Every structure is written in structure tokens, then in C-alpha cells.
Amino acid sequence: MTHTRCAKIVATLGPATTAEGTIEALARAGADVFRLNFSHGTHAEHEHHLRVVREVEERVRRPLAALADLQGPKLRVGAFMGGRVTLRAGDAFRLDLSPELGDESRVCLPHPEIFQVLDSGTDLMLDDGKLRLRVHEVQDGVAVTQVLAGGVLSDHKGLNVPNVVLPISALTEKDRRDLDFALSIGVDWVALSFVQRPEDVADIRKVVRGRAAIVSKLEKPSALDHLGEIIDLSDAIMVARGDLGVEVPPETVPIVQKRIIRACRSAGKPVVVATQMLESMIQAPAPTRAEASDVATAIYDGADAVMLSAETSVGEHPVAAVSIMDRILHRVQADEHYRAIVEAGRGDPENSAADAICAAARQVARTLGAAAIVTFTSSGFTTLRSARERPGVPILCFTPSAQVARRMALVWGVHGAACAELTDDIDMVAKAGALARAGGFAEAGQRLVIIAGVPFGRPGTTNMLRISWVD
């Protein structure tokens, strides 16, 4: 099953997509990556979903990636007498470590480490930013605050501390158990939540040890202070606009989104834009015009992929949500101005043999009107550098690793397939032509631009460019 769309779609699995037929329908509608959200569901449910994805992959005959999204630390207040209270602007409100039920004057904040970094003037957000407090005094595990924006606060609502680096590891004990399980069942990508600093990414990389690629979710403003380092240490980045939108002003979120996308494009790392993309489709059969525009803007900006969350996991129209997103992406790609925008955002190649070869391949493909650029790779490195160039033709990633082929399902313009190791130049040209024809990307008489590394099978040796005809 071939599609020519460049940007990719990530679909979250959940109660609405448990049936095998629904997951297959999502794939046929255009989903490329399936997200297993470890904030919800059991290990058995995630294992079932992954098994079905692998079975569907065989039927649709293209690689489908599985992404395990770890929950990360969740800061929550305790419970209240009666289950909820109403806080009014101007009132005093205390956060403390006492396990007693809260009332209109206080509540437990069962995170002693948070009190270490609170200071007078620190703002706190509750219930996804619906309520706001300002700290006036902190001492001995007690923070006295004033309510700036009031409202109803119920049991165990979330708490955010904007603009403060919290002394908390991005990997909780639950995350470590979930990560071990996700790696044991063979996921392709792992998404790390609550990334605040480069060390958070380095920590999970030590645990993963190459068994999956790592997506760093940027949802804390402090991560933006180390954006370049975090991108360098990550295999991909996710713009997690939900939590990020709580901790930075709403008018800043689009600017941050564009900044992250530009930085990822420059580095040649895939970037996913997530959260509330087609939110109304949780209930409605069609998105709002504003939502369609939001998705299109992410693609014009250069995102590799866009993600559906509740729309497919618990929504009433999961297949329609993927189908409509697919139509939006196709329509943007067909826009006469799209190529000019893509070209304007393309940076200069870096000073390396791989970038020189990939930049040349893009130009050669354009000059000759080639049907596709074919990359032979063992690690995916060659393909990623080619995708950084944003060529005007499909990028075919042929690799002996099924997992590498699946990882490429997240990358702009790339279509992966597993194949046997190359033996020599003649074998390379023959495989390129046969696989391009079998995938529907080229016909007899068309030309291909082939990129590879010699000696074959050695990662990071991109040093060959060849033009071939399809027999």
C-alpha cells in the first residue's frame, strides 16, 4: 500500500480503537505511527494493540511504527472534604504536606521536593491552568499563596510550576516499569515526557541502549533554554502543546512551535506537532475551519508529523479524524506555493560527506526529473540526512533492519522497506529498481538517484551517489 504524502500522521490507540478492524481502517485511512499512551491502559492492552498493529502491517504492506509514550511525573494536589472547593480571587490558600482532607483554606501537595524550589512570587497553575496562585511565603513544607484566578478545584487536579526547573527526574518508577515492558514487546519509538534539561534525555538513552529511538516531548519552558542540546541528544522531538500551553502564555505557543520546528529542521531531526489538532472531532464528524488551518500551518512550517490524541483514542469518529487529516496534508502538499515555502526553510548542508551527497542527490533528482531518491542504510542515518534536504520526490529507505524501516514511518517524505544486505554495485542498482517498481514509486524507463555508503553495511559511511534507470 503506497501513499505519496510527505508529512506523516500519528494516531493514538485507546478504547475507541481496540477492534482489529478499526486499527486496520486507521492505517488504510493514512495513519503511519500508532501511539501507545502509557498514561492510560494496562500492559496487556498495549501489548494487544501492538500485536494488532504488526498484523495490520502485513496486510497493508508498508511499515507501521509503534510509539510508547511514557507518562512522566504528574504533580497533583490531594483530596478535599466533599470532593471539591471553590477558590476566590484574592483569598489566601495554603499548600502543605499534611495528608488531611483539604478545604477552602488549604490542601495537601504531596511532593516535598517542590517546596525546595518555590519562592515568593512564583506562580502556580492548577487544573490545566484554569486556576492560578501566587506564592507569598514558603517555610518548612508550607507554601502560603494568594488566589489570582479562582474557580472550582476538585480532588487530585494537576499542578504546574512554570519557569522553574523542578528537582524531579523525568523517569518515574512507573515510567521505568513501562519502559522495560515497551522495549520487551518491541516498540520502535519511546516518547519521554517532562523533559527539562539535556540530562533527562541522556538518562533514558542509557536505559534504552539503542533498542528504540527516543522522542523528547517539549512541554516545559525550561527545555527551551537547552533546545539545541536536547535536539542533539534526541532522535526526534514532539511539540507537546497541551502542557506547554499551560506553562507559557497562549500567544507564545505558536512562536515556540515555529522555533522548535525550525531548530529540528536545521538539525535534521524529525519533529511532531501534537495536542488538540482536531479536538472537536472527539464528538463531531468534521473539524472546525480553525483546526484544519492549525494542521495546515504545522505542515507549512515544516513538521514531519502531526498527532491525533483523544480524537482517535476515545473519540466517536477515529477513522474519519485520520481520513480528514490525510486530506488536509494532501491538499497542503498540492498547493502551488508549498514547494517554495519548503525550499525557503531549507538550511545549508553541514560540512560532511553525507550532507554533500544528500544535497547533491536532491539537486540531481530535480534536474533529471527522477522518480525517487533511493537510500540504502543500515542505521537510517543516510535517510534522515536526505529528508533534511526536503527533496521534491519520494525518499525510499531500503534497509536490512525492519525496525529501522518502521522508524522511518515518522520521517517526512520517507517510505521504508526491509530488504537483504547489498552485495555489490550491480545488486544495489537491481534492488533499487525492483523495489521502487514494486512499491509503485517508479516505472520502467524512469530514473532513480541512489545514495549509499561503501563499504556496504557500515553505519555512517554515506559516500556514494549513482543515477540508474528502472528496467
pLDDT of 180 > 50? The answer is yes
Structure-block grid coordinates of residue 329: 496534508
Active site residue 217: yes
**DSSP class of 335:** S
Nearest residue to 277 (alpha-carbon basis) of 342, 326, 337 = 326
Whether 275 is catalytic is yes
CA–CA–CA angle 144, 146, 150 (5° rounding) = 130
Q: Is the peptide bond before 455 cis (omega within 30 degrees of 0)?
A: yes
Residue 458 has pLDDT above 80, yes or no: no
User: Measuring CA to CA, how many Å separate 213 from each of 10, 53, 143, 411, 436?
Assistant: 15, 18, 40, 12, 26
pLDDT attached to residue 460: 73
- pLDDT band of residue 32 (cuts 50, 70, 90) is very high
Catalytic residue among 12, 145, 275, 383: 275
Q: Is the model's pLDDT at 91 over the cut of 70? A: yes
The pLDDT of residue 456 is 82
Q: 233-254 pLDDT, tens per residue?
A: 999 999 999 888 888 888 999 9
Instruction: Give pTM, 2 decimals.
Output: 0.93
Q: What is the pLDDT of residue 352?
A: 92
Q: Please give the average per-residue pLDDT across 366-388, as a whole number.
A: 95
- Cell 555489490, located at residue: 424
Q: Judge contact between 215 and 272, C-beta under 8 A.
A: yes
- Mean pLDDT calculated for residue range 3-14: 93
The pLDDT score that the predictor gives to residue 463 is: 87
Residue 31's contacts (CB-CB under 8 Å, 6 or more residues apart) are: 9, 10, 11, 64, 312, 322
**Catalytic entry in 35, 220, 241, 385:** 35
H/E stretch holding 266 reads helix 253-267
Mean pLDDT computed over 427-431: 93
Identify whether 385 is a catalytic site residue: no
The domains of the chain, with CATH numbers, are 8-73+170-341 (3.20.20.60), 84-160 (2.40.33.10), 353-469 (3.40.1380.20)
Please, what sign has the CA dihedral across residues 241, 234, 73, 132?
Answer: negative
Q: What is the mean pLDDT of the chain?
A: 94
Per-residue pLDDT of 335-361, as tens digits, reads: 999 999 999 888 899 999 999 999 999
- The predicted pLDDT at position 2 comes to 59
145 is catalytic: no
Quick one: what percent of the chain has pLDDT higher than 70? Answer: 99
Q: What one-character-per-residue DSSP string does 366-390 give? A: HHHT-SEEEEE-SSSHHHHHHHHT-
Residues 6+ apart with CB under 8 A from 192: 70, 72, 170, 171, 200, 201, 204, 214, 215, 216, 217
- For 220-231, the DSSP string reads SHHHHTTHHHHH
**pLDDT tens readout for residues 283-321:** 999 999 999 999 999 999 999 999 999 999 999 999 999
Catalytic entry in 28, 62, 76, 327: 76
Among 391, 397, 341, which residue's Cα sits nearest to residue 365?
391
pLDDT grade, residue 1 (50/70/90)? very low
Average pLDDT of the residues in 387-410: 96
* Residues forming beta bridges with residue 462, ordered by sequence position: 453
